[in-house]
Amino acid sequence: MSEKLQKILANAGLGSRREIEKWIEGGRVSVNGSIAKLGERATDKDTIRVDGRIISIISAEETYTRVLAYNKPLGEVSTKKDPEGRATVFDNLPNTSFGRWISIGRLDINTTGLLLFTNNGELAHRLMHPSYQVERKYAVRVHGEVTPEMISNLTKGVLIEGDTCQFTYVQDKGGEGANHWYEVGLAEGKNREVRKLWESQGVEVSRLMRVQYGPISLPTRLSRGRWVDLEEQEINDLAKLVELEVTPRRARPEVQKRQKKNIWKKR
């Protein structure tokens, strides 16, 4: 059964449908040797190339969405390859059955905590897109005196590099001396936005950790540098948040049938 080309390539984990539509318009995609046109349909039996490279396509019935929660340690960069040879967040990830791992947002080298990865390009695109306002939560240790006026500024909005930035909330988490912990929320994930917001008030962020992305919290027992697969319900909750229907690995019909068959065998 044929499907639109951008959907096939998104299912293969190459990117979001909108991103792939731009590839097609730019002449980067071909089907059976001919440059593809936007709106063209294909099947897993066709030979599809992107930038001349043959793409391994799996039929729609065999594709599934997988999401990993990773606890990022200090010192790792959020790119697949680093020209300086530094460790990356992709180094410790497992292999995928198809497609590639896509990072849902990024964390800078000095930020730790929750980083999500998926093999579903459309899901990654929507979870990062500002229009969906997916909230991120961070634990922040601040060095310096923080006044009620500063917190009011941070939630009402501060002009940073021409853009108005703000926290959705700021919650005092305690501390001693000049160092104090806060939990903050962001509806977008602009580059170094948490640090820049606090610095706009004349205080310094000494530690920063992401603790939640949308409905997914950092697992309490997940060690730094380790990953865990999200459960079927957690994946569905993420997809529902951005109005997308997905098929998690554990929900695939053939898996359910096989599990049922195994139960009958045990009886």
Query: Which residues form the catalytic set?
Result: 108
Residue with tokens 């853009």: 163
Among 253, 255, 250, which Cα is nearest to 65's? Answer: 250
From start to end of the chain, where are the E strands?
A: 3-4, 29-31, 34-35, 41-42, 48-50, 53-54, 67-72, 102-104, 112-118, 136-143, 158-160, 163-165, 169-174, 179-186, 204-213, 216-217, 227-229
Torsion region of 52: left, alpha or beta (phi above 0 gives left; psi -120 to 50 gives alpha): left
